[in-house]
Amino acid sequence: MDNKTECNEGIKASNTAFAIIETIHKAECIRLVDLAEEVGVANSTAFDHVTSLKNAGYVIEESDGYRLGLKFLDHGMQAKNNYQQLINAAEPVLDQLVDETDEAVNLVVEEHDHAVYIARRTGDRGVPTNSWVGKRKQIHTLSSGKAILAHVPVEWVEKFIDRTSLNAATTNTLTTGEGLKEELEKIRERGVAFNDRESHESIRAVGAPIILNNVVHGAVSIAGPARRLTGEYFSKDLPDLLLGAVNEIELKLAYQ
């Protein structure tokens, strides 16, 4: 067997292992036969992979199927530590925003063409959503994600559009490269990004970028029910509040 064949087979095996991990993650707990069917491999192949993962401590076998083990938490916490300086600067400000709005407040960064939540606060009126620390979402569907995209190099955005399917989360999601670029230009002009039911039919949000030395480090968003985030509260009050909060984070980062 030549090196090229070995390399291709190695990549295929790795892809299968990661597909199994992702499938278990989505299912929370899943039987072997269902896992194999979902990933599209033979039962024996799925068994070999989950056995290796189980022996390494990444998968736990329960009476009703397989689930992910806490060893992933160790890796996740270490990955989160890469953003600890940003988190430390932002968390007091996020708490303040929650006190002032009683909505859901998020700190988001870009990684591998996705928006990733690295801190989150929810007020008493905040609506539970399918977002949590570590959650990855399509970056072009979120106000925080679009705020980040508006301040990365234009060449990066062009390549992002070329390599990414701008899939729709709702009927309001921007799904064309030209539409996205026009929206990013508006965001640069006004300083904030809006999510008008683009990630969820019942959610609106306002996002603003965290920029230091002309480099965007992440973004903060305030999200809530679309029927409550309306009028000037949505178009002016929340943006003004958010811009002040983000400026405070930027100053904290600059003088840490």
Domain 3-69: assigned CATH number? 1.10.10.10
Q: Where are the domain boundaries for CATH 3.30.450.40 in the chain?
A: 82-255
117, 133 contact by CB (below 8 A): yes
Q: Given this model, what pLDDT does residue 3 score?
A: 42
172, 146 contact by CB (below 8 A): no
Residues 6 or more apart whose Cβ sits within 8 Å of residue 202: 225, 226, 227
Q: Given this model, what pLDDT does residue 1 score?
A: 40
Strands (E), 23-180: 59-62, 65-68, 104-111, 114-122, 136-138
Q: Given this model, what pLDDT does residue 6 score?
A: 41
Q: Given this model, what pLDDT does residue 11 score?
A: 83
Residues paired with 140 in a beta bridge: none
Q: Given this model, what pLDDT does residue 128 score?
A: 67
Architecture of domain 82-255 in CATH?
2-Layer Sandwich (3.30)
In a structure prediction context, what are the per-residue pLDDT tens digits for the chain, which is 256 residues long? Answer: 444 434 445 588 899 999 999 999 999 999 999 999 999 999 999 999 999 999 999 999 999 999 999 999 999 889 988 999 999 999 999 999 999 999 999 999 999 999 999 999 998 887 767 788 999 999 999 999 999 999 999 999 999 999 998 999 999 999 999 999 999 999 999 999 999 999 999 999 999 999 999 999 999 999 999 999 999 999 999 999 999 999 999 999 999 7
Q: Given this model, what pLDDT does residue 214 score?
A: 94
Spatial separation of the C-alpha atoms in residues 28 and 39, rounded to whole Å: 15
> Is the whole-model pTM more than 0.95?
no
Spatial separation of the C-alpha atoms in residues 139 and 149, rounded to whole Å: 8
Q: Where are the domain boundaries for CATH 1.10.10.10 in the chain?
A: 3-69
Residues 6 or more apart whose Cβ sits within 8 Å of residue 63: none
Give the helix/strand (H/E) hosting 17. Answer: helix 3-27
